[in-house]
A and B are shown apart, each in its own frame.
Chain A
Amino acid sequence: MWMLRSFVNRSVVTLAGITAPGAALAHPAQGGFVLLLPTDIYIAAGCAAVGLSVLIVALMPAGALARLFAPRALGHAPDLATARALTSLLSLALLAALLWVGFIGPRDPLSNLLPLTIWTLWWIALFTLQGVLGDLWAWINPWRGLHGLVWGDAPPPLRLPKALGCAPAIIGFVAITGFALADPAPDDPARLAAFVMGYAMFTFAGMALFGAHAWLGRAECFTLLLRLFASLAPLQTRPNLAIGLPGWAAIPDRTAEKVPLSLGVFVIVLLASGSFDGLHKTFFWLAQIGVNPLEFPGRSAVVWSTTLGLLGANVALALAFAGCIALGHLALRGPAPRLRDAIAQLALSLLPIAFAYHVAHFLTAFLVGVQYSVAAITDPLASGADLLNLGQFYVTTGFFNTQGSVRAIWLTQAGLIVAGHILGVLMAHRMATQIYGGHRRAAIAQSPLAVFMVLYTLLGLWLLAAPRGA
């Protein structure tokens, strides 16, 4: 079984959901101010920074990168499995309460705690914290505790075929992203509650049949995704406490088993889906599908174009990425490693980009959604209650309404994306030296990927700057 350093399958399970509806909460003025910003200059600067990082990495003395990514051991971490099982049970109880609110609580998705929790507190906030602080999901997954309570360590009745790799998680992630992007009402409380409950039961059934380890590790896309994001955190607790440059734990150990191609594809799918989420509301995309962005007819009118676009984006990015690696192999003289192994491993260098794009893309939605979440926590049934004693609480989008604050938000987003790409460049080169055996060979094999990184920076920043209409 392959294993990244940070991945010890002790944790987790999942919820459902995806792309926050909050993206639609942005404000017309925000887009207007972004168009007034000198984004061309910012974008050029961002791409130049990533390009420069490529050069620096190529010119660094051999071994410097290895030292950069070498973690510093901090000793043994206590075994907290029992505590995690308890918090998992509490989380399950919370999920049940949220589902109840989803089914019978307020119908307004911005007053109902279920969609707010799923889309804002979980999909945006937790995913972000996961990449910064490490595997919090291991503590709050709602199923692991119950599974342990019911089945303990008993062997599962069925085996998830090894040949499948992470394919179930890929299919699951694309399907759920499709729900989030293309479904007409993914934030409707009752609809979402049914979806979450169905996915929760499906996951639990999968764990019962195939075992928690196999199902959570290869079939349950959110656990896989969250563990991958957690591997970017500087501080890791398992197997031992250690700290290092962000991403150090995501670089496969030379002694570990090969990264399966399906895991690499999963990471590519994460990035492609996130990028398509950014793309599908731009004037550019809407023009491609013949929709006037100023009179967007509603999501129900673009279900198929969105679905096909999502699938197309995934295929396109997978082919582009594989093409870059293949080109690098062509440039190499002498023996090259197996292409599929190189693709699988180097795809992990896209992780910080996918993570950074996730955080940047949803930053604006979070700024609004978190306010609605507070309002819903103080009045969970929209009955006029004020549990937090906030008094009259008005949600504001005023920070989208001044040039200074819009610039600050935009530059924060852009900075995250550039930083993600630079980390990606460093990780890719570090892995390439392992794969291709040597600094110089790595630099040659990496050159198409380096161009890819710069161009993808351009895409990510362009998506931030592009006018939106849906």
Chain B
Amino acid sequence: MTQKLIPPSGFTRRGALKTLGLGAGALAATTAMPGFIQAQSSAPIRIGFQVHRTGIGASYGRWYDRTSQAAVKRINDAGGINGRMVELVPEDDGTDAKRGAEVIEKFATQSNCDVAFGTLFSHVVIGSAPRAGELKLPYFVVSEGHHVASGMLNRYTLQPGITDVKSQVQAMAPFVAANLGKKVCMIFPDFAFGHDHRDYFSAAFEAQGGTINAMIAIPPTETAFTKYFPQIPRDTEVIYHVMVGPAVLTFVKELGEFFGPSRPELFGFIDSLEAVDIASPGLEFLEGSYMWEGNPRYAQADQTEYDKAFRAAVGVDDNGASVSDSRDISTYAHMFGCWETLNIIKAGMEASGYQGQGDRAALIEAVEAMSAMPLGMDHPQGAKIFNGKTHQTFGHQYITRVESGKLLLAHTTSIEDTLYEDEVDYTTRSF
């Protein structure tokens, strides 16, 4: 699963909004400047696609590939970028940090790519970004990790098409406190991914007046869970669970057997069950529970025309499954990020009048200058606000409820719920 790293920091929403205002001003300034007029090339724009084809991220990589291919097709069908066709150059990184850096180098030095794009797993992003910075290759990641906005990366690395886990987690707290209960027991895997949830949800939830009454850390290699459940306090109103890995189904089944029909409210992250059918045997216990989703897997009653068209383009039906096989569930909560990021690259290249690799810095500046990204075909998951200083986008989060084996929308957070104070200003760093 995606390892979502969130370094601690204090923040205020006001500070974040101030930054975004500055970003909007910068966009106006950049677009007002006359661009360089260079000889128009008819050669395709080459986008190096760093994709988890093999390794632990392969099941995500398959859908990232499918979504990216569909996005590029749409861009090309509409005339490409600045009159040039777009060519995706996929390279497998093996979901391996070292290989990730090698792939970046290959994009920059061998395969003549204009930009790099696509990485999901955090350790690969963190392993690759320094090389992208050294080689001055714009690197657009789709990882959800907080590593971009935390300031640990560089001017050349951006995450404009998907929100980060810090904002996702904190945005859940108001809903849980207001609707599910004030006493939460957290159950999480005992490593960085789980610790991020532990630390940031607990902080955000306590800020809402709630109490975390227990934190149960499960060893990553555990495959039997019943022995941990007696640690759940009797007065627990909500269980917040973020288990990942092959034992998730067992976890849910055993939790159901432990509680029987009377259980506390349950709140989880779809990361646990991404690409897994919610109607699977063993998951019945999740009926009536709530999940965070980056993008609702099931087409909702208020489905936008954009979501409908996005599903058609990537070949996904109303249940979030492949149109060719109803059992083949997509990674719907995450893969929209590839689609949106490619559209942002297009918008950035158009805004900067991008002609060739000499314009890479101008492309970064053009993306940094972006701010509001309205809901539309370029952003079918929802409207977003990009923060050019932190290189991170912010957007709506979805909370769905399991009803009759489907995930039905219960709440959509505001973008403001997801904001936090800036931890870095990449625009002050030189190219």
In the assembled complex, the CB of B99 is this many whole angstroms from the nearest CB of chain A, namely 6
Evaluate whether A187 and B246 lie within 8 angstroms (CB atoms) in the complex, with A36-B282, A467-B223 already known: no
In the assembled complex, A237 has its CB within 8 A of some CB on chain B: no
Which residues of B sit under 8 angstroms from A299, Cβ to Cβ? 55, 94, 96, 99
- Partner of A109 from the list B92, B97, B111 (CB cut-off 8 Å) is B92
Distance of A293 Cα from B58 Cα, bound (Å) = 15
In the assembled complex, B193 has its CB within 8 A of some CB on chain A: yes
Q: Is the CB of A398 within 8 A of B322?
A: yes
Which residues of A sit under 8 angstroms from B96, Cβ to Cβ? 184, 297-301
Which residues of A sit under 8 angstroms from B66, Cβ to Cβ? 394
Q: Tell which of A19-27, A43-51, A313-321 binds the partner.
A: A19-27
Distance of A107 Cα from B91 Cα, bound (Å) = 6
Interface residues of A in 207-233 (CB under 8 A from B): none
In the assembled complex, the CB of B279 is this many whole angstroms from the nearest CB of chain A, namely 9
Q: Is the CB of B53 within 8 A of A110?
A: yes
Q: Is the CB of A111 within 8 A of B90?
A: yes
Q: Is the CB of B246 within 8 A of A28?
A: yes
Which residues of B sit under 8 angstroms from A107, Cβ to Cβ? 89-92, 111
Q: Is the CB of A300 within 8 A of B189?
A: no
Q: Which residue of A lies closest to B316 (CB)?
A: A394
Which residues of A sit under 8 angstroms from B226, Cβ to Cβ? none
Distance of A403 Cα from B55 Cα, bound (Å) = 23
In the assembled complex, A240 has its CB within 8 A of some CB on chain B: no
In the assembled complex, B399 has its CB within 8 A of some CB on chain A: no
In the assembled complex, the CB of B126 is this many whole angstroms from the nearest CB of chain A, namely 11
Q: Which residue of B lies closest to A21 (CB)?
A: B54
Distance of A206 Cα from B54 Cα, bound (Å) = 34
Q: Is the CB of B247 within 8 A of A298?
A: no
In the assembled complex, the CB of B188 is this many whole angstroms from the nearest CB of chain A, namely 11
Distance of A174 Cα from B56 Cα, bound (Å) = 25
In the assembled complex, A188 has its CB within 8 A of some CB on chain B: yes
Q: Which residue of B lies closest to A467 (CB)?
A: B246
Q: Is the CB of A29 within 8 A of B58?
A: no
- Partner of A294 from the list B189, B315, B324, B329 (CB cut-off 8 Å) is B189
In the assembled complex, A462 has its CB within 8 A of some CB on chain B: no
The interface bits of chain A over 173-206 (1 if a CB of B lies within 8 angstroms of the residue's CB, else 0) are 0000000000011011000000000000000000
In the assembled complex, the CB of A410 is this many whole angstroms from the nearest CB of chain B, namely 13
In the assembled complex, A412 has its CB within 8 A of some CB on chain B: no
- Partner of B94 from the list A185, A392, A394 (CB cut-off 8 Å) is A185
Q: Is the CB of A29 within 8 A of B95?
A: no
In the assembled complex, the CB of B123 is this many whole angstroms from the nearest CB of chain A, namely 6
Evaluate whether A298 and B55 lie within 8 angstroms (CB atoms) in the complex, with A29-B275, A107-B91, A398-B325 already known: yes
Q: Tell which of B157-165, B248-256, B401-409 binds the partner.
A: B248-256
Interface residues of B in 226-247 (CB under 8 A from A): 244-247
Which residues of B sit under 8 angstroms from A286, Cβ to Cβ? 221
Q: Which residue of B lies closest to A281 (CB)?
A: B56
Q: Is the CB of B246 within 8 A of A470?
A: no
Interface residues of B in 68-103 (CB under 8 A from A): 89-92, 94-99
Distance of A293 Cα from B190 Cα, bound (Å) = 12
Which residues of B sit under 8 angstroms from A28, Cβ to Cβ? 59, 245-246, 274-276
In the assembled complex, the CB of A399 is this many whole angstroms from the nearest CB of chain B, namely 7
In the assembled complex, B361 has its CB within 8 A of some CB on chain A: no
Which residues of A sit under 8 angstroms from B189, Cβ to Cβ? 294
Evaluate whether A31 and B246 lie within 8 angstroms (CB atoms) in the complex, with A109-B54, A296-B56, A300-B98 already known: yes
Which residues of A sit under 8 angstroms from B92, Cβ to Cβ? 107-110, 185, 187-188
Q: Is the CB of A402 within 8 A of B280?
A: yes
Q: Is the CB of B281 within 8 A of A36?
A: yes
Q: Is the CB of A25 within 8 A of B54?
A: yes
Evaluate whether A29 and B90 lie within 8 angstroms (CB atoms) in the complex, with A36-B249, A398-B327 already known: no
In the assembled complex, A395 has its CB within 8 A of some CB on chain B: yes
Q: Is the CB of A108 within 8 A of B53?
A: yes
Which residues of B sit under 8 angstroms from A25, Cβ to Cβ? 54, 58
Known: A299-B99, A401-B327. 19 other contacts (CB 8 A): A21-B54, A28-B59, A28-B274, A35-B223, A35-B247, A108-B51, A108-B65, A184-B94, A292-B220, A293-B221, A295-B3, A295-B220, A298-B94, A396-B328, A401-B277, A403-B280, A467-B221, A469-B245, A470-B55
Residues of A within 8 A of B (CB): 21, 24-25, 27-29, 31-36, 106-111, 184-185, 187-188, 283, 286-287, 292-301, 392, 394-399, 401-403, 405, 467-470
20 residue pairs from A and B, CB less than 8 Å apart: A25-B58, A28-B245, A29-B275, A29-B280, A31-B246, A32-B250, A34-B246, A35-B250, A107-B91, A109-B54, A283-B221, A293-B220, A295-B1, A295-B192, A296-B95, A298-B99, A394-B328, A398-B328, A403-B280, A468-B246
Q: Can you list the 3 inter-chain pairs with the closest CB atoms, starting with the nearest?
A: A298-B96, A398-B327, A31-B246
